[in-house]
């Protein structure tokens, strides 16, 4: 009896314990299930974040690619600009040389002009000298001419301009036409008057009459 009671008691105890354990197990199991569910949610959330980050990353990668392309374009442009600057520098140097050459040739032209100016002045001096010499020569010539004319007038005073014979106090008297002052031999003038109805002076062609003629000596 005692034994069967003990057994019964032990059996009941064991059943209680098993029940307790089962309950405990069920509770733990449900707890674990909840935990797993929570973990799943978290995992999903993390996965979503990862996806979002990846899409952001790809956008950023595209932007970086674009920036790199732009940078390459810029470096191309910079290279082109540098080439242009080089070209301009070369042109500047060429222009500088040209200007240098031009100023040199201008200097040479100025020197030539100075030389020509000097030659011109020399020629002008020579010309002035020649003109002065000629003036002297002309004045001496005119002096000579005057002398010759004086001599000639002397001879015309001594001889008639019509017959070139010397005057005398007989038929070829030294006479003057009072209207014009020209002198001839009296016989030559009388011959003129006898030949022409209107006598005129053989030198100036002025009409005269016998009463206009006077004897000089």
Q: Taking the complex as a whole, how short is the minimal distance between the CB of residue 176 and Zn ion, in angstroms?
A: 9
Region from 23-31, 111-119, 129-137, 188-196 binding Zn ion, contact rule CB under 5 A:
188-196
Residue-wise burial string across 124-149, b where 16 or more C-beta atoms lie within 10 A, e elsewhere: eeeeeeeeeeeeeeeeeeeeeeeeee
Closest contact distance (angstroms) between CB of 208 and Zn ion is 8
Q: Does position 176 bind Zn ion by CB under 5 A? A: no
Only one of the segments 19-27, 101-109, 111-119, 172-180 lies at the binding site for Zn ion (rule: CB under 5 A); that segment is 172-180
User: Across-strand partners of 213?
Assistant: 177
The yes or no reply on residue 161 touching Zn ion (CB under 5 A) is: no
Which of the residues 191 through 210 are near Zn ion (CB under 5 A)?
201, 203-204
What is d(CA 205, CA 96) in angstroms, rounded to the nearest whole number?
A: 86
Q: Closer to Zn ion at the Cβ: 9 or 187?
A: 187
Q: Which two tokens stand for residue 39?
A: 């973990």
CB of 197 to Zn ion, least distance (A): 18
Please classify residue 199 by burial: count the beta carbons closer than 10 Å to its beta carbon, then call 0-12 exposed, 13-18 middle and 19+ buried: buried
Burial of 185 (0-12, 13-18, 19+ CB in 10 A): buried
How many residues sit in the footprint of Zn ion (CB under 5 A)? Answer: 10
From the CB of 194, what's the least distance to Zn ion, in Å?
14
Q: Nearest CA to 203 among 166, 170, 156?
A: 156
Using CB under 5 A as the binding rule, whether residue 162 contacts Zn ion is answered as yes
Structure tokens of 43? 């995992």
Q: Which residue has the tokens 């009941």?
A: 12
Please report whether residue 188 would count as binding Zn ion according to CB under 5 A.
Answer: yes
Residue 156 C-beta: closest distance to Zn ion, Å: 12
Q: In this chain, which of 167, 183, 185, 189 binds Zn ion, going by CB under 5 A?
A: 185
Contact residues toward Zn ion (CB under 5 A) are 160, 162-163, 180, 182, 185, 188, 201, 203-204
């Amino acid at each position: 009896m005692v034994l069967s009671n003990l057994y019964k008691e032990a059996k009941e105890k064991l059943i209680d314990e098993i029940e307790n354990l089962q309950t405990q197990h069920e509770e733990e199991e449900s707890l674990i299930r909840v935990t797993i569910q929570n973990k799943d949610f978290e995992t999903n959330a993390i996965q979503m974040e990862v996806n979002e980050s990846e899409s952001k990353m790809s956008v950023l990668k595209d932007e970086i690619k674009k920036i790199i392309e732009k940078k390459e374009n810029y470096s191309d442009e910079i290279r082109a600009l540098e080439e242009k600057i080089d070209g301009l520098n070369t042109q500047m140097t060429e222009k500088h040389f040209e200007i240098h050459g031009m100023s040199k040739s201008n200097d040479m032209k100025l020197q030539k002009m100075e030389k020509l100016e000097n030659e011109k002045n020399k020629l002008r001096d020579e010309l002035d000298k020649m003109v002065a010499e000629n003036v002297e020569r002309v004045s001496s010539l005119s002096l000579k001419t005057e002398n010759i004319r004086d001599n000639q007038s002397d001879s015309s005073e001594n001889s008639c301009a019509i017959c070139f014979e010397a005057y005398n106090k007989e038929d070829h008297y030294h006479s003057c036409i009072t209207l014009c002052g020209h002198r001839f031999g009296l016989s030559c003038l009388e011959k003129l008057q006898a030949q022409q109805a209107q006598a005129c002076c053989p030198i100036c062609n002025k009409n005269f009459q016998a009463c206009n003629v006077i004897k000089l000596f």
